Amino acid sequence: MDGYERSTYGDAFADVYDEWYTDITDLDATVAMLRAAAGEGPVLELGVGTGRLAVPLASGGLRVVGVDTSAAMLERLRARDPDRLVETVEGDMVADLPPGPFSLAVVAYNTLFNLTAEGEQEACFAAVAERLAAGGRFVVEAFVPEEPPRSGDDVAIRTLAADRVVLSLSRHDPERRLAEGQFVELTEAGGVRLRPWSIRYRSPEELDAMAAAAGFDVEDRVEDATGTAFDAERSARHVTTYRRR
């Protein structure tokens, strides 16, 4: 997408992220699962955003470091975390990761797919492995791509109200496993607001291959943080825990 940069998504969605996505997964179950996986910590969150997971983890006594390319997202995190319990790094989740070692790294709800350049996701696995203690865990939460993958252009209505309409426009390139689009928000008071996004999606099997190349084994895979069993034929998402060898 022309003009789309690493911080574009975060800067465009920071003001609505908590409104739109707070309940996208079970927050309490996810935090509990991560606490159990982290042990004594510390924890590294990639694409920390507004701190939806990082703040409750840090409030529970863990040292948490969150990385995000978007200054707007990190500003929202700091508003949620006035005591500065979460350490933040404004930067890329491959090149700018802090040195560690960490007992747990996590990349939540599809955030890994925000890395769209060739080889970036593989580089992320390698960078995380370098920063984990021996036996450390990397938790990846993502959707399971449709097979066959969607192709062409889509237009849909996300929100329809008397004073507000949000349209979803998307373009799908199955050859490159790339999807990109815009949420176009129209309001009487605010006019037009564009919220662009771009992802490169991968199957669980493709992620497993990246993980293995970086020195990880699959420790566990469930459909969601509540522990629902993963069904390779039916599950639309997965939470996979990789363990560093």
Number of domains in the chain: 2
Tokens of 112: 């890994």
Q: Nearest to residue 135, comparing CAs of 90, 103, 88?
A: 103
Q: Which two tokens stand for residue 83?
A: 């005591």
- Pair 174, 148: CB distance under 8 Å: yes
Q: Each residue of 36-66: pLDDT tens digit?
A: 999 999 999 999 999 999 999 999 999 999 9
CB 105 within 8 A of CB 133: no
Asked whether residue 1 is domain-assigned, the answer is no
Same domain, 19 and 59: yes
Evaluate if residue 188 carries a pLDDT over 90: no
* CATH number for the domain harbouring residue 80: 3.40.50.150
Segment 116-174, tens digit of pLDDT = 999 999 999 999 999 999 999 999 999 999 999 999 999 999 999 999 999 999 999 99
Residue 179 included in any domain = yes
The domain containing residue 180 runs over which residues? 152-199
Residues 70 and 166 in one domain: no
Whole-model pTM: value is 0.95
- Are the C-beta atoms of 163 and 188 separated by less than 8 Å? yes
158 and 49 assigned to the same domain: no
